[in-house]
A and B are shown apart, each in its own frame.
Chain A
Amino acid sequence: MMTFIKLFYEFLKTGLFSIGGGLATLPFLKDMAQKYPWFTSHQLTDMIAISESTPGPIGVNMATYAGFKAGITEGGILSGLFGSFTATFALVLPSVIVIIIISKILEKFRKSKTVDDAFYGLRPASAGLILGAMLDVFISALFFGDKLDEIINVFDIVNIFNFKAIILFLVSFILIMKLKKVHPILFILGGCIFGIVFR
Chain B
Amino acid sequence: MKILIELFIAFAKIGVCTFGGGYAMLPLIKREIVENKKWAQEEEIFDYYAIGQCTPGVIAVNTATFIGYKVKGVSGAFAATAGVVFPSFVIISAISAFINRFSHIAVVQDAFNGIRVVVCALVLNAVISMVKKGVKDVLTFFIMLVIFALVAVFSINPVFAVLASAIIGIIAGKLGFRKDKAKQ
Q: Could you list which residues of chain A lie within 8 angstroms of chain B, going by C-beta atoms? A: 15-23, 25, 46, 49-61, 64-65, 68-69, 77, 80-81, 84-85, 88, 91-92, 94-96, 98-100, 102-103, 113-114, 116-135, 137-138, 140-142, 165, 168-169, 172-173, 176-177, 183-185, 187-188, 190-196, 198-199
Contact = CB atoms under 8 A, between A and B. Distances in A.
Given A19-B54, A121-B166, 15 more contacts: A22-B58, A96-B65, A99-B69, A122-B47, A124-B165, A125-B161, A126-B46, A129-B148, A130-B23, A137-B116, A141-B120, A184-B27, A184-B31, A195-B113, A195-B114
B57 A95 contact: yes
A161 to B, nearest CB: 13
- A60, A65, A195, A196: most-surrounded residue (chain B CB, <10 A): A60
Given A55-B88, A68-B92, A131-B127, A99 B46 contact: no
B54 A20 contact: yes
Contacts of A80: 93, 96-97
- A124, A128, A193: most-surrounded residue (chain B CB, <10 A): A124
A117 B89 contact: no
Nearest to A92: B61
A64 B90 CA distance: 9
- B51, B96, B152: most-surrounded residue (chain A CB, <10 A): B96
6 contacts: A18-B56, A18-B58, A22-B59, A120-B172, A184-B27, A184-B122
Given A100-B65, A141-B117, A176 B122 contact: yes
B102 interface: yes
Given A53-B103, A96-B65, A114-B173, A128 B145 contact: yes
A85 B134 contact: no
Contacts of A68: 92-93, 96-97
A199 B167 CA distance: 48
A102 B48 CA distance: 10
Contacts, number: 388
A56 B20 CA distance: 7
B2 interface: no
Interface residues of B, number: 110
Contacts of B164: 125
B147 interface: yes
B74 A196 contact: no
A55 B113 CA distance: 14
B103 A125 contact: no
Interface in B78-115: 78, 81, 84-85, 87-89, 91-93, 95-97, 101-104, 106-115
B65 A95 contact: yes
A125 B102 contact: no
Given A64-B88, A184-B17, A121 B143 contact: yes
Contact of B114 (A55, A138, A168): A168
